[in-house]
Structure 1
Amino acid sequence: IASADVVWADETPVRVLDVKKTRQGYLWTFLTQTAQGEWLLGYRFSLGRASTTPKEVLGGTRGALVVDAYTGYNAVTLPEGRVRVGCWAHVRRRFFEALPTAPEAREALDFILALYRVEALAREAGVVRTDAHRELRQQQSLPVLSALRAWMESQAPRHLPKGPMGQALSYALKQWDALTRFSSDARLPLDNNRSEAALRKVALGRKNFLFVGHEAAGENLAGLYALVATCEANQVNPEAYLADMLLRVQTHPHSRIGELLPYEWMRRRAADPPDSPRQLSP
């Protein structure tokens, strides 16, 4: 994941058992898509939300990093790291929350909807992440962005800075460079929804097991989430995968451990079905 050109990232809190109480920990997700279309989802556990985890995973790498506005990722972005790519879903959420007190926020939502309609056109035409996709963005998304920027600048003096609408405008304007980078690079998405979706299972876990027992348990949880989530993202049956992989990993050569990653395992299973005499060698 760290060697990929485009990486999505996000984090969410998880309670960790301490002496007679719990403390705050975090599960981070870092994910990417290979040139062959396979999704790789990684998770990391930490006891804090500082920039330590992003630096451990992405420090010294180059490319694009799709994240929200959290400053903890600054340590691995420009000027010496990755190019930061903003999230229009976060921008939209803030304008939506401003609607009850500022009905004019509907205009911002309409502008953002227009950006997503361009992406829908690219999907329908089957040109996603191609030069044709970039050209479509240049022709149709750029005018929308220009009009939205002008509208926000005209609206900013009319709203209290700490009000919902003022905060929504400030959030978007401060991130403008990161939010508009997608228009010149077809590889970049409009939002960070992929990584948010990857953390939904963590939110479900919070409701079920409430907390992890200690730091090592959090690290184990992150590893298990990575395997199961990567299975799900690549249409691999997690139960069948784990049942087979946990036996193979005991004797599989360490230098070839990548062969047991979910998508590699599935590729080899497709080439050598279970009833075939040439199954994946241990």
Structure 2
Amino acid sequence: MDENTRLKEENQSLKNRVAWFENQMFGQKSEKRIVENPLQGNLLGVPVITEPEKPAIKKVAEYERGKAKKNRPDDCTTDTGLRFSDEVPVEVINITPPELIGSDADQYKIIDIKITRKLAKLPASYVVLEYHLPVIKKIDSGDVRTTRMPDQVLDSSIADVSLLVGLLIDKFLYHNPLHRQHQKLTHAGITVARSSLTNWVKRSIELLRPIVQAMLNHVLKSKVLAMDETPIKAGRKHQGKMKQAYFWPVYGEDHEVVFTFSESRGQQHIIDTLNHKFSGTLVTDGYAAYARYAEKTDGIIHAQCWVHSRRYLVNAEESSPQEVAVVLEIIGQLYQFEKRIVETKLSGDKKRQYRLENSKPLVDEVFSWLDEQCQRHDLTPKHPLTKAINYLQARETELRVFLADPDVPMDTNHLEREIRPIPLGKKNWMFCWTELGAEHVGLIQSLISTCKLHDINPHTYLTDVLQRVSCHPASKVEELTPRVWKEKFADEPMRSVIYKTVNDVVE
């Protein structure tokens, strides 16, 4: 290779790197592909010829706004579509008509009540609960005793369970950091130290640790387990510099996700989490630590994610648009078959047979296409398409696992969706001051994410569990995990005092 050719390749490689960084900063984040001709029937066949669309005729002058009544769901309480559950307090406001106040009020009578509902919001929903505890004296002995306070979540604390849950939900579900919540308290006329908020959150999450551990034990019993890692800044490395740490979420077959924490991205955390506890199919991205763990561990079948593989092809699309478009279309058809499986609710042997009949020929076609591309002489080692080809060919066995096992998904998208709250949170609370704080983030996020997966209101769940954890048998702690809690306690959850007070007032 002469000097001129080498410089050209190096220049093109640097251009590709710059283009990749520009796309990461300013490009489209969605991985959906825009299909220009949705009627195209096959990849290499004759394209479908369609008639050009006729321009729409606009009638501006004759236009009239639609007056037809919109179809509303049965649970709508107003024509504007307001819907709310029984948990939302309702305050009744009685309006007296002026006709019933004047001198001729006796000329009118009320024959009906028209109800109109409006949605309102208070500046801050903070309430001080004032407990009046009678001090009683026994007449014959003269003994004096004070009525015992009802059990509280945190002993010797001024925080009610409703405030504790509100702090947790606002920070970890809605990503509202504690210093902003402290500002809301101040603006509402309440003076509390910011350190108190941090202490309440820490103590509350510690009470939930055994529940998350029980959930992790159940997740590791899954036959198919998805695992990934995502970075988090945790702990001070030195002044002005935070340490790089990682969450390692694991997703079980019963739709439970647990965010385990580690100070490194090394293989040791995979060993500590899974070793002697999990046996089955491990679905991951292409990070080499998973492959090395699976190779030296008995009872582990390693499956890899098609979406991560596809991204390498997308990165090569600009340099080889025609070639890459062919294989991306084939992968798109694979996902159409997966969509069909979900729509028809196939499972077990029927799902496996469907994949073998429909998906396997396409997978064979993908790897045949890769072998053909390897014969090209114009692909250099640094070419983006070469990197994509090498990535997929090195993982062919792992990418084919889903064809033989109907319980194995094609990708780890279901886990990636649950990771989103971590980067969303980092944009608000940015980092964790200590490693323990990051571990607490993983604990509470595990419960909130699992609640959402099981269609459980996280506020209702945490309010119940924080009050129940002190009296529930430790041997039955699994009953407090969201999956089991939904069956046992969701119908009659424990409420806070303020909830009962508000409902008594409404009634």
Cα displacement string for residues 28-72 of structure 1 (whole angstroms, at most 9, x for unaligned residues): 1001123xxxx1111111110001221122112310000011122
Whether the 8 Å contact between 1:8 and 1:195 is mirrored in structure 2 is yes
2:242 aligns with 22
1:165 positional shift:
0.9
Pairing of 1:1-282 with structure 2 (within 5 A): 1-18=219-236, 19-20=238-239, 21-34=241-254, 39-60=255-276, 61-79=278-296, 80-103=298-321, 104-127=323-346, 129-158=347-376, 159-270=379-490, 272-274=491-493
Q: Secondary structure at the match of 1:25?
A: strand
Whether the 8 Å contact between 1:8 and 1:31 is mirrored in structure 2 is yes
1:212 positional shift:
0.8
1:125 positional shift:
1.5
Aligned AA for 2:474? H
Q: Secondary structure at the match of 1:30?
A: strand
Q: Secondary structure at the match of 2:374?
A: helix
Q: Secondary structure at the match of 2:470?
A: coil
State the superposition RMSD in angstroms.
1.5
Aligned AA for 1:122? I
1:274 positional shift:
4.6
> How far apart in 1 are the matches of 2:361 and 2:421?
38
Normalized per residue, the structure richer in strand is: 1
1:265 positional shift:
1.2
Whether the 8 Å contact between 1:69 and 1:86 is mirrored in structure 2 is yes
Percent identity reads: 31
> How far apart in 2 are the matches of 1:150 and 1:7?
29
> How far apart in 1 are the matches of 2:354 and 2:301?
22
1:78 positional shift:
3.3
> How far apart in 2 are the matches of 1:273 and 1:243?
12
1:24 positional shift:
0.4
> How far apart in 2 are the matches of 1:89 and 1:273?
42
Cα displacement string for residues 65-87 of structure 1 (whole angstroms, at most 9, x for unaligned residues): 00011122235413524111011
**Structure 2, gaps ≥5 residues long:** 1-218, 495-507
Computing the radius of gyration from Cα coordinates, the structure with the larger value is 2
**Structure 1, gaps ≥5 residues long:** 276-282
Whether the 8 Å contact between 2:460 and 2:493 is mirrored in structure 1 is no
1:199 positional shift:
0.9
Q: How many residues align?
A: 269
> How far apart in 2 are the matches of 1:77 and 1:248?
40
> How far apart in 2 are the matches of 1:106 and 1:222?
40
Q: Which has the higher contact order (CA 8 A, sep 6+)?
A: 1
2:141 aligns with none
Cα displacement string for residues 159-182 of structure 1 (whole angstroms, at most 9, x for unaligned residues): 222221111111111000000011
The structure-2 alpha-carbon separation of the partners of 1:75 and 1:152, relative to structure 1 and needing over 3 Å to count, comes to closer
Normalized per residue, the structure richer in helix is: 1
Aligned AA for 1:120? K
1:279 aligns with none
Aligned AA for 2:265? R
Whether the 8 Å contact between 2:464 and 2:493 is mirrored in structure 1 is no
Whether the 8 Å contact between 2:456 and 2:486 is mirrored in structure 1 is yes
> How far apart in 1 are the matches of 2:304 and 2:350?
22
TM-score, normalised to structure 2's length?
A: 0.52
Task: Choose 100-109 or 117-126, whichever is displaced more.
Answer: 117-126
